[in-house]
């Protein structure tokens, strides 16, 4: 059974779809597409059904990554459906955990930046109200964090038999 990752930000049009698509890109390059499934969601319902933000799409394209998907809102069922839920910032983290009042799934929720290897930021900044450099910065940070995340999952070519 594939390992299931869910990336979560506020509106699911900038950071979390970028993380989802970057991770899919890295997974494909590693030959692990059948071992890991990625999705993304937002804690708010602002953009349900919307495609990724055009500025984010352009920033990802500059790194050779295509952003796909449609925004959806995080639901309680996601706790059961995913093995690891990655929040882009502390507010998203708190919003996710607020849907788990009994604390049954808290162990599945982590901050995305916990996996960054070359960046010291503790949160993925929301580039929505900024300029091009903010979007480019988020893509670079997410590339780093997704590579670090894949390393921690122990699903490299040598470890495939363990899953």
Active-site residue numbers? 9, 15, 126
- Other beta carbons within 10 angstroms of residue 162's beta carbon come to 8
71/134 Cα distance (integer angstroms): 21
Phi, psi values for residue 85, rounded to 5°? -115, 125
* Neighbour-count burial of 49, counting CB atoms closer than 10 A to its CB (0-12 exposed, 13-18 middle, 19+ buried): exposed
Q: What SS3 class is residue 110?
A: strand
């Amino acid at each position: 059974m594939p390992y299931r990752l869910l990336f979560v930000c506020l509106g699911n049009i900038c950071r979390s779809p970028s993380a989802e698509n970057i991770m899919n890109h890295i997974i494909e390059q590693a030959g692990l597409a059948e071992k890991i499934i990625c999705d993304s969601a937002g804690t708010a319902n602002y953009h349900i059904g919307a495609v990724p933000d055009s500025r984010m799409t352009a920033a990802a394209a500059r790194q050779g990554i295509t952003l796909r998907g449609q925004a959806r809102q995080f639901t309680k069922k996601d706790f059961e459906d995913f093995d690891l839920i990655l929040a882009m910032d502390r507010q998203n983290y708190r919003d996710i955990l607020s849907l788990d009042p009994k604390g049954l799934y808290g162990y599945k929720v982590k901050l995305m930046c916990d996996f960054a290897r070359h960046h010291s930021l503790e949160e993925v900044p929301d580039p929505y109200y900024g300029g091009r450099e903010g979007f480019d910065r988020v893509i670079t940070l997410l590339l780093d964090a997704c590579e670090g995340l894949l390393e921690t999952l122990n699903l490299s070519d040598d470890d495939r038999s363990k899953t």
